[in-house]
Chain A
Amino acid sequence: MDKQRADNYELHRREVAKTLLKDRTDDFLVVTGLGSPNWDATNAGDHPLTFPLWGAMGGAATMGLGLATAQPTKRVMVMTGDGEMLMAMGSFATIAAQGVENLAIVVFDNERYGETGMQATHTAGPVDMAAVAKACGFPVTATVKTETELMEALPLIKETKGPVFVDIKVKAEPLPFILPTKDGVHLKNRFREKLLGPDSLL
């Protein structure tokens, strides 16, 4: 366990989120895990085709699976944290077994529980999340630590046949809360209206 390692990572999560969400089209659907990834996505620009979770810890990846299965012609990106993903490591197996080609899971891995006092997660220890995903059968996996590696991972996340898993090591740093609406019914309805049209709300 190295609790200080992430203090010195090069990548800043807010900038990574902006990079991932830049120039997005309506063919790019996003689910964020609760906590920091939600604030990171909101900071990069609120969007009706982003569903930011405020709870349901451990549910982001399989929410992405249900969405990607329903929308095979769209790209789905799940953007979540290491603590959230550790709670749902079984979903690596579930997703890989389905072989959904249009799903990318991206973990912003600061090796901390950011919302609760920055306690170390298992990724500050021996756990290699990309190796877990690979062992479960994800055909494309990567661990990203530098700006150059991030640029190389972008096409994997946005278009490579998946399921894709990318673990992005980001600096453990305190950041301001940038909050979207917490009205879950609104978040759901605006997403469906944008994706499926107004009749979907009838």
Chain B
Amino acid sequence: MTENYAWAPDIYDVLKDLDVRQVAYVPDAGHARLLKMCEADNAMRCIPLTTEEEGISLSAGAWLGGERAVMLLQSSGVGNCINMISLANTCRFPLLMLVTMRAQWREFNPWQKPMGEGTRPALEAMGVKVTQVDDPDQVGETVRSAGEQAYGWPDMAAVLLHQKLMPVKTFGK
């Protein structure tokens, strides 16, 4: 685990370099520090969603209007996105998803297992390029590479943030 999510500012710096203006999210503890930084930034609009699939269509709309969007979500939320990814795939809209992972490492809650283990194959089945990172020192540059390709090609990219990057969640046990 990484104390205090030390990699979060690295992601923030990369999102600034990439000129990301819309930050769509369903919150996860793993994204909390990054979200705080984005919320404090007047050049970024943070957009909480009721369900993650809204972020796929929102990202497409942002691109139509000339802005770049990023999605922050947990692995369980990837499952909520699947059909909507058709929009990015068919129209070649850029899509950048930063996914905090569950069910990988000292997971307490077995209900996280199906979608946690299904995250990568589900994304890949929909044509999304998936890169996983578990080294805190590599998080920023991994997001940079995924983002450059997503907005530059354009392409659909997901960065899976390994559960080792987050503190162990034990529900008070």
A interface residues (Cβ-Cβ under 8 A, vs B): 29, 31, 51, 53-60, 62-71, 88, 90-91, 93-94, 97-98, 184-185, 187-188, 191-192, 195-196, 200
Contact = CB atoms under 8 A, between A and B. Distances in A.
B29 to A, nearest CB: 21
Given A67-B61, A70-B61, A195-B65, 17 more contacts: A31-B61, A56-B57, A56-B86, A57-B83, A59-B87, A60-B57, A68-B65, A69-B45, A69-B47, A69-B61, A90-B51, A91-B50, A94-B48, A184-B92, A188-B63, A192-B64, A200-B66
A135 to B, nearest CB: 14
A187 B91 contact: yes
Nearest to A31: B61
A132 to B, nearest CB: 13
Instruction: Give the dominant DSSP class at A's interface.
Output: helix
A59 to B, nearest CB: 3
B50 A94 contact: yes
B53 interface: yes
B51 A66 contact: no
B56 interface: yes
Contacts of B58: 62-63, 65-66
Interface of B: 21-22, 45, 47-51, 53-67, 69, 83-84, 86-87, 90-93
A133 to B, nearest CB: 14
A32 to B, nearest CB: 13
Nearest to A51: B64
A171 B45 CA distance: 39
Contacts of A64: 61
Given A66-B69, A91-B54, A98-B47, A191 B64 contact: yes
A93 B92 CA distance: 28
Contacts of B92: 184-185, 188
B25 to A, nearest CB: 11
A97 B67 contact: no
Contacts of A63: 57-58, 60-61, 64, 87
Given A66-B58, A66-B59, A195-B65, A59 B84 contact: yes
Contact of B49 (A51, A70, A94, A195): A94
Contacts of B83: 56-57
